[in-house]
Amino acid sequence: MSLLAADARAFVAAARKELRMWRRYPLFILGLLFWPIVLPATWVLMGQAYSGGGDARALAAFAERAGTTEFAGFVFVGYAMYMWLSNLLWGPGTALRQEQIRGSLEAVFLTPTSRLVALFAPPISHLPFSLLNFVTMGLTLWLVFGIVLPLGPVLEAMVVIAIGIPSMYAIGSLFAASVLRFGETGPIVQLVRGTFVLACGITFPLVMLPGWAQAGAALLPPTYIVADIRTVLFRGVGLGGIAIDLVLLLAFAGLITLLAVWVFRILETSARRRGTLGSY
Amino acid sequence: MTATAAEPAVDARGLVKVFERGRRTFWQRLRGEPDRRERFHAVDGIDLRVERGEIFGLLGPNGAGKTTTMKMLATLLIPTSGTISVLGIDVLARPRDVRARLGAMLSGERSLYWKLTARENLEYFAALYHVPPRQTRARIDDALTSVKLLDRADDYVERYSTGMRQRLALARALLPDPPLVILDEPTVGLDPQAARDLRARVRELRSQGRTVLLTTHYMEEADQLCDRVAIIDHGRIVALDTPGALKRTIRAEEVVRLEIGLADDGAAVLERLGRSATVARSERHNGTLAVTAHCASARDFVPAAFDAARSAGATIQHVEVVPVTLEDVFISLTGRALRE
């Protein structure tokens, strides 16, 4: 077995281990079903109230800015991205931090497997939960708000999500790496998640932001993912119309992954010098 | 470079590890203030050679530098200076190759996943140790058998006792079938039976031809288990030999421990005791003077001690005659007990 194959097997084992541990807490699934329904539904109801219960002029004004009159779908897609981001910013970093506190991080680092397995495997283990979020939200849109999403655009949205996965997981890994230096990353995660929510058009059309903020948003992968999912689902534009965005997403994934690996290597070496790998 | 049988299992030279004590704030860094943190030598120039096939112990009190040394050997810490070769491989240049040949148990039961079963824990670590898939099941069964946990393999680790978790941590260290096993305080926190059980497992490792390097602050453990012992204090090795040879460095046949009740500072009684034995250690606490004395014959010294106490107006409350132990060696070298 080559070193790469052995590391790939270790990667799968690490992701499987995380999933096994989640399975021991079945009530966790309740949260996964509850929040994706309640949180966006609240915003949709607020939108309905603020627009006079779906007044035609209000909807037209919204469509002018958002490109669609489906504001419930608009909000749900935004919140799907929000939940995904939350999972990624909290999940991998927390997993690495728990390993550190438990004392198992040192045990993992005593093995010959690549240290990057510990960095990238936990984010992947969160993928099923994020997919469950998307499915729950899709079902809620259909069953509660009566929005039927045609199969073709849904499949195209899944392609957008699939292409967005590497860049999103690279962001999660980048934050996980910071655990080795800072221990608790909660405050940083709060700051970054808030910035993403504000800058990436999670709950409102991006044109509402000032020009300089829109330029900043163009440097963040979630901006493209959320906009492109809305485009294929609600504006009838095919994948061809967003091809440049998809290429950009792949480029972001490469860049952020390299950055995450670089940061992780620096911080891991620093932790080995300072003796903080196993510190509380 | 590959290891040959002639090369030692561990060869460390001039090993130093310096840590900074205290914090240097962000603002201090930003203002470019000089770094005024205290430098603390956790390991201060250790030379260590562990031969293949032996059980080698690092014996010392808490904070002596044992764990720091182990972590440097295991690639978890980068030394400030010095060189380390493990099984003929340079630890700093090829850490991954070292880890592939090393079984280590450093943080014991804490390092396991309590929400997984023993088998699930070992399946995960077998993959991390790059155990070939076809060998994984047999390797896990062998490791569990060797620590006598095969019948509890499918229980969650959270349902294990501390001793069982320690044994499982040892089983994990055996997964890569390593020629060198390093164990940091393997029996700490265990009840006497569980500790005996684990020591028996460690002896089996030697009989399988493996080298074992362990740390302990239990003198009995070092005495019973180790072929050679390095006594470590304040980051330095203060003595290194077989347990028997180390004990022979004490110029005494027997050790007498006394507890003397007195009203003064005890200087007079100590002076008198010193005429017929070597007072290795004395400690005054709540009107009682605890004395450890090295002597040629307890039969001669004990009556003399009673006379000395009586003439100084003190009372001997407790007498204990024990054979020379590694603790006495430590006391004679440092003037302190291992547990202080």
**What's the CATH code of the domain at B309?**
3.30.70.1710
Distance in angstroms (rounded) separating the CA atoms of residues B84 and B159 = 39
CB spacing of B110 vs A20 below 8 angstroms: no
Same domain, B115 and B201: yes
End-to-end CA distance of chain B: 44
Position B245 scores a pLDDT of 92
- The reply to whether residue B78 touches residue A273, judged by beta carbons under 8 angstroms, is yes
Domain residues for the domain of B75 are 52-81+90-247
Q: Does some domain include residue B16? A: no
The verdict on a CB contact (< 8 Å) between A110 and B74 is: yes
The candidate with the shortest Cα–Cα distance to B9, out of B231, B207, B178, is B178
B chain contacts of residue A23, beta-carbon cutoff 8 Å: none
Give the residue extent of every domain in chain A: 3-274
Nearest CB to B104 within list A1, A103, A110 = A110
CB distance B132–A113 less than 8 Å? no
Per the structure, the count of domains in chain B is: 2
Sign of the four-CA dihedral A266, A268, A273, A279 = positive
Res B67: pLDDT: 92
Name the pTM for this structure: 0.81
On chain B, the residues whose CB falls within 8 A of the CB of A102 are 110-111, 113
Residue of A nearest to B19 (CA): A274
Q: Is residue B103 part of a domain?
A: yes
Structural domain includes residue B242:
yes
- Residue B110 to residue A110, Cβ atoms within 8 A: no
The residue among B247, B268, B285 that closes a domain is: B247
Residues of chain A with pLDDT under 50: none
A222-234: b or e for each residue (b if 16 or more CB lie within 10 Å)?
bbbbbbbbbbbbb
Interface test with B, best of A110, A269, A274, A279 (most B CBs within 10 A): A110
CA distance B222 to chain A (A): 24
**Which candidate from B76, B102, B123 shows the least CB-CB separation from A13?**
B123
Same domain, B310 and B170: no
Q: Which residues of B touch A274 (CB under 8 A)?
A: 19
Same domain membership, residue B257 and residue B242: no
B177, B170, B166, B164: which is closest to B208 by C-alpha?
B177
In a domain, residue B59? The reply is yes
Residues of B in contact with A271 (CB under 8 A): none
The answer to whether the Cβ–Cβ distance between A113 and B68 falls below 8 Å is no
Cβ contact (<8 Å) for B127 and A14? yes
* C-alpha span between A75 and B243 (Å, rounded): 74
Mutation for A interface: B125, B128, B137, B162, most A CBs within 10 A: B128
Q: Which pairs with CB-CB distance under 8 Å and at least 24 residues apart come from A198-203?
A: A199/A223, A200/A81, A200/A226, A201/A78, A201/A226, A201/A227, A202/A78, A202/A79, A202/A81, A202/A82, A202/A226, A203/A43, A203/A75, A203/A78, A203/A79, A203/A82
Q: Out of A10, A24, A106, whose CB is closest to B111?
A: A106
Name every residue whose Cβ is closer than 8 Å to that of residue B176 and which is 6 or more positions away in sequence: A111, A112, B100, B101, B102, B103, B129, B130, B131
Q: Which of B77, B112, B129 sits opposite A111 (nearest CB)?
A: B129
Q: What residues in A contact B100, CB-CB < 8 Å? A: 112
Which parts of chain B sit beneath pLDDT 50?
1-3
Contacts of B63 in chain A (CB under 8 A): none
To the nearest whole angstrom, how far is the Cα of B77 from the nearest Cα of chain A?
5
- What does the alpha-carbon distance between residue B76 and residue B90 come to, in Å, rounded to a whole number? 14
Q: Can you give the pLDDT at residue A82? A: 86
Of B212, B204, B241, which Cα lies nearest the Cα of B73? B212
Mutate to test the interface with B, among A111, A120, A265 (most CBs of B within 10 A): A111
Tokens 């790998």 map to which residue?
A277
β-partners of residue B283 are B290
Boundary residue ending a domain (B187, B221, B247): B247
Domain finish residue from B223, B247, B271: B247
- CA quadruple A51, A55, A59, A60: dihedral sign: negative
CB–CB contact B106 A9 (8 Å): no
* B184-201: pLDDT as tens digits: 998 887 888 888 888 998
Q: Same domain for B201 and B276?
A: no
Whether residues B211 and B65 fall in one domain: yes
Same domain, B116 and B187: yes
Is the residue at B140 inside a domain?
Answer: yes
The ipTM is 0.81
Whether residues B205 and B119 share a domain: the answer is yes
Residues B118 and B226 in one domain: yes
Cβ distance B99 to A112 less than 8 Å, yes or no, reads yes
How many interchain CB pairs under 8 A, A with B? 101
- Comparing CB atoms, the residue among A7, A10, A277 nearest residue B76 is A277
Q: Which residue of A has its CA nearest to B127?
A: A10
A4-54: per-residue pLDDT in tens? 899 999 999 998 998 898 888 888 778 778 888 888 888 888 888 888 887
The verdict on a CB contact (< 8 Å) between B106 and A14 is no
Is B124 within 8 Å of A13 when comparing Cβ atoms?
yes
| Residues from chain A contacting residue B68 (CB–CB below 8 Å) | 275
B335 assigned to some structural domain: no
Distance from CA of A9 to the nearest CA of B (A): 6
For B218, the 3-state DSSP assignment is coil
Residues A111, B99: C-beta atoms closer than 8 Å: yes
In this structure, are B158 and B98 located in the same domain? yes
Nearest CA in chain A to B181: A110
B56 in the same domain as B164? yes
Contact A272 B78 (CB under 8 A): yes
- Hey, are the CB atoms on A14 and B129 less than 8 Å from each other? no
- What whole-number distance in Å separates Cα of residue A100 and Cα of residue B269? 53
Instruction: Collect all residues of chain A within an 8 Å Cβ-Cβ radius of residue B120.
Output: 17, 20
- Confidence at residue B2, expressed as pLDDT on a 0 to 100 scale: 47
Same-domain pairing of B208 and B232: yes
Residues B122 and B235 reside in one and the same domain: yes
| Dist CA B294 CA B307 (whole Å) | 17
Residue B339, pLDDT score: 58
CB-nearest to B106 from A9, A13, A106 is A106
Whether B37 is covered by a domain: the verdict is: no
Are B276 and B301 a contacting pair, CB within 8 Å? yes
